[in-house]
Amino acid sequence: EERAKQHTALHEELQRRSAMHDARHQELQDLVARGHAARAQHDAPRAPPADAVSEERAERIRHDSLVERVDSLQRTVNIFDSVIRKEIDERTNEYTRIWDAIDNHTHDLSAQVITERFLPSDGPCARREGPQWSVPAPGPWRPSMEPSAPMPSSPLR
């Protein structure tokens, strides 16, 4: 009977340890399975989420639209710049022509008369009784025609 008791106690202890061993074995298998799943997930190529892709496309479209608008504005600025430069050149030439006309139109008696030897010997200008050509003396002061200087108002407008 003593022996039967020891045998029963030993058998119960063996079953308890076997159950504990099976539980630990199951825990280890679960850990190994989670480790394999994590490694597979880590090694797999990652595709960005659909929301991130659509957000990136929308951002690219906004960027392209902004670049097109900036390019269009740059072209417009270049066109206006060329128009303004042309207008400045035309006005500068016109003001120079006006000032040359004012400088050449003089009532000053100190103007030098060009002698007849400078006139052509034949043709319509060969008449000796025609008007004499004159070169004015140094004229009055003229304002600068530099584009940075303020332009005088035109007397012709």
- The model's pLDDT over 29-57, given as tens digits with 9 standing for 90+, comes to 999 999 998 888 777 776 667 787 888 88
User: 92 near 147, Cβ under 8 Å?
Assistant: yes
Per residue in 111-127, pLDDT (tens digit) is: 555 444 454 555 555 54
Supply the pLDDT for residue 2: 87
- 129-152: buried (b, 16+ CB within 10 Å) or exposed (e) per residue? eeeeeeeeeeeeeeeeeeeeeeee
Supply the pLDDT for residue 130: 46
Supply the pLDDT for residue 157: 42
Supply the pLDDT for residue 124: 52
Closest to 109 in 3D by CA, of 132, 137, 130: 137
State the Cα torsion 34-39-44-50 to the nearest 10°. Answer: 50
pLDDT at 131 over 70: no
Mean local confidence (pLDDT), 97-109: 78
DSSP for residue 119: S
pLDDT at 85 over 90: yes
Supply the pLDDT for residue 107: 60
Tokens of 131: 């008007």
Threshold 0.85, pTM exceeds: no
Question: Bigger pLDDT: 156 or 12?
Answer: 12
- Paired residues of 134 in beta bridges: 113
